[in-house]
Structure 1
Amino acid sequence: MKRTLAEIANLINGKLCGDYDENLVITGATGIALAGPSEITFAVDPHLEEAIACNAAAVIIQEDVDGFSKTCIKVKNPREAFNILLNIFKPELKVEKVISSKAHIGKNVKIGEDVAIMDFAYIDDNAIIGDNVEIYPNVYIGQYASVDENTILHSGVSVREYCKVGKNVIIHDNTVIGADGFGFITKDGKHTKVPQVGNVVIEDDVEIGCNAGIDRATTGSTVIGKGTKVDNLVHIGHNCVLGENCLVVAQTGLAGSTIVGHNVTFAGQVGSKGHIKVGSNSVMAARTGLIADVPENSFYAGFPARPHQEWLRIKANESRLPDMMKKLKLMEKRLKALEEKNN
């Protein structure tokens, strides 16, 4: 895919500035350090000086930047503009919309139009596959499971029995949707399995990374809300419900029945105990340990989790603890001396 500089400016609603040739052909979009003379990049503070010296044909910058001495396109949001270009210039993968003779298709399976099912995929009995679905090698779709239109399941994904995957979903390699939840009754030192008879519902426009595990509910459904994005190596326990447009970063683990509102961000390695609620529009900093409910519009950090500003004050004082202990011991010594003197 190629575009002229003028076409690119039009696509991203930007204004060309500097010494430019609007007919210059642009062949790609990449980072500042990698960009060549036929490519475009973007820059925001503190990388503007670096961008001026780079080899790119042009740089996308914020519209209020002055004194930029290189050919540029000024826009309201450089990151959003660059994202548009990445979608234009990304390499197109050719996927043949056929059902491989090496795939297993069970009884009473319903398959829509323009579906790709690749080698060694296993579609079990009574599963439903919507239009334009892409199923890569070694994918397993269980009995009575459904995958809605325009969804992509990469190699090694398992969508277990009765689970439902919505439209425009992307699930990356080796993720498991609908393994049994971790439910046991312990009696006399022995653990007896609690049947996990619910399912998992993945709503529309969700993306899930590699090697994630989303467990089926004991009863009812574990739900991942519309537009939510889940990173690699995330565990979501049985009966969790995540609202719409959440971000769940790598190595986060949510224990069973954690209820999450809309637009919540879990940074890396966040952990939650089960049966708590996290309010909408909240952010959990990396390695936050949640042991109680979190109100809406909160920014929490630390273990146990607490408001971020409070956590910062605590961390700032931690480095002072050795000196504070010395002073405390000295005060105790002086106090003891005064008490002995008075006695």
Structure 2
Amino acid sequence: MPDPRFFEDLGPTSLGELATLTGAQLVGADSSDRRVSRVSTLAHAGPDSVTFLNDRKYAAELARVRPGACFLPSALADQAPEGCVVLIAANPQGAYALAAQRLHRPRPAGLDAIADDAHIEDGVVLGAGVVIGPAAQVGRGTRIGPNTVIGPGVAIGRDCEIGPNVSIGFALVGDRVKVLAGARIGEPGFGATVGPKGLIDIPQLGRVILQDGVSVGANTTIDRGAFDDTVIGENTKIDNLVQIAHNVHVGRNCVMAAHTGISGSVTIGDGAQFGGRAGVADHVTIGAGARVGAASGVMKNIPAGETWGGMPARPIRHWLKETAWLARMAARKAGGEA
């Protein structure tokens, strides 16, 4: 379930209403009055939730979790387990997104600069123009720079340094964390799909977790999860102008140089290192202690401890050999033409 510190619960609602809202076909007229209270990804589904399935390879997972209802394409309607109400949709993910908008929404920021129910411990220093939302918490010894906005429900630990013009929302921040000027923590990750009338946003219902000792550079963006969390592990150091997308899990003691871009649902092991302007495609796993060269483009998994470079990235020795060979061939051709 989306964290109630950050999201309001708008349910429950009937499956008949969701079918009308999404244009889905409800299988079983007697199911119209059945109610669900939340949306959920397949991994977290339960009897009070509605989920979606696009791919037959996850049918076993659907049978295991037994959700209350599921949006399915007509070709997979027979994959629903007993007790799971089927809603047939041309685009199950789009129907799921509309259902999520009906059942959940972000908590409002409120009207006061410092909310009455915000909990600010002794020794906190707030710069001019700081905004702290309802039910937010700030730990002892933390300093927050001018014009920074701390959203509803956000928890910031002790002895943190939050720079000016930072925004932090939908986030849990540990102790001794540094967030430099202009960073954006917890904005919605990029997710869109086709709805009945064109493209629609997929609600991003997860959080950002910055563990103890993390450093986040100026103008860096870390998106909150689509449903699961985006997690930055202890003592990881992130440079300026880095983009980390939704659902990324970064291990402890990692280093990312400026302009690194990490796509959604990437998993990065402890101690991994990224040179400037490195890019990683979505759903890739970077092993512990792996190193990615500057300006490399990672398109597949990197085993632990290996160093890769190039575009597309491959083991560094292979890339260097290929580069040297190309240089020799180019030199021979130039010499022959001369």
TM-score by length of 2: 0.64
Deviation at 1:191, TM superposition (A): 2.2
Give the distance between the partners of 2:281 and 2:194, measured in 1 at CA: 19
The corresponding residue for 1:168 is 176
Letter in 1 for 2:271: N
Letter in 2 for 1:240: V
1:249-281 per-residue CA deviation (whole Å, 9 max, x = no partner) reads: 000000000100000000000001100100001
Give the distance between the partners of 2:162 and 2:334, measured in 1 at CA: 60
The corresponding residue for 2:125 is 116
The corresponding residue for 2:313 is 305
Cα 1:187–1:325 shift into 2, 3 Å: farther
1:49-86 per-residue CA deviation (whole Å, 9 max, x = no partner) reads: xxxxxxxxxxxxxxxxxxxxxxxxxxxxxxxxxxxxxx
Equivalent position to 1:184, from 184, 192, 203: 192
Matched, 1:212 2:216: no
Matched, 1:155 2:164: yes
Among all aligned residue pairs of Structure 1 and Structure 2, give the percentage whose two residues are the same amino acid.
31
The corresponding residue for 1:84 is none
Matched, 1:295 2:303: yes
Cα 1:106–1:283 shift into 2, 3 Å: same
Letter in 2 for 1:163: A
Partner-residue secondary structure (3-state), 1:320: helix
The corresponding residue for 2:274 is 266
Q: Give structure 2 stretches of 5+ with no counterpart.
A: 1-111
Cα 1:326–1:150 shift into 2, 3 Å: closer
Deviation at 1:190, TM superposition (A): 3.5
Deviation at 1:328, TM superposition (A): 11
Partner-residue secondary structure (3-state), 1:322: helix
Give the distance between the partners of 1:244 and 1:326, measured in 2 at CA: 48
Between the two proteins, the alignment pairs up a number of residues equal to: 226
Partner-residue secondary structure (3-state), 2:252: coil
1:28-67 correspondence to structure 2 within 5 Å: none
The corresponding residue for 1:136 is 145
The corresponding residue for 1:125 is 134
Q: Give structure 1 stretches of 5+ with no counterpart.
A: 1-102, 330-343
1:201-231 per-residue CA deviation (whole Å, 9 max, x = no partner) reads: 0000011110000000000210010000000
The corresponding residue for 1:49 is none
Give the distance between the partners of 2:233 and 2:194, measured in 1 at CA: 33
Deviation at 1:325, TM superposition (A): 5.8
Letter in 2 for 1:147: I
The corresponding residue for 1:104 is 113
**Greater RCO (CA < 8 Å, at least 6 residues apart):** 2
Matched, 1:225 2:238: no
Deviation at 1:314, TM superposition (A): 0.7
Give the distance between the partners of 2:165 and 2:322, measured in 1 at CA: 45
The corresponding residue for 1:8 is none
Give the distance between the partners of 1:163 and 1:239, measured in 2 at CA: 13
Give the distance between the partners of 2:195 and 2:123, measured in 1 at CA: 52
Give the distance between the partners of 1:312 and 1:258, measured in 2 at CA: 26
Matched, 1:321 2:329: yes
Give the distance between the partners of 1:189 and 1:197, measured in 2 at CA: 23
Give the distance between the partners of 2:163 and 2:312, measured in 1 at CA: 37
Deviation at 1:318, TM superposition (A): 1.2
Deviation at 1:293, TM superposition (A): 0.5
Deviation at 1:321, TM superposition (A): 2.2
Deviation at 1:107, TM superposition (A): 2.7
Partner-residue secondary structure (3-state), 1:317: helix
Give the distance between the partners of 2:136 and 2:122, measured in 1 at CA: 15
Which structure's CA Rg is the greater one? Answer: 1
Q: CA RMSD in A?
A: 2.0
Give the distance between the partners of 1:123 and 1:323, measured in 2 at CA: 62
Deviation at 1:284, TM superposition (A): 0.5
Give the distance between the partners of 2:292 and 2:334, measured in 1 at CA: 35
1:112-154 per-residue CA deviation (whole Å, 9 max, x = no partner) reads: 1111011100001110111111011001000000100000101
Partner-residue secondary structure (3-state), 1:114: coil
Partner-residue secondary structure (3-state), 2:282: coil
Letter in 2 for 1:124: G
Letter in 1 for 2:304: E
Cα 1:119–1:323 shift into 2, 3 Å: closer
Letter in 2 for 1:272: V
TM-score by length of 1: 0.63
The corresponding residue for 1:247 is 255
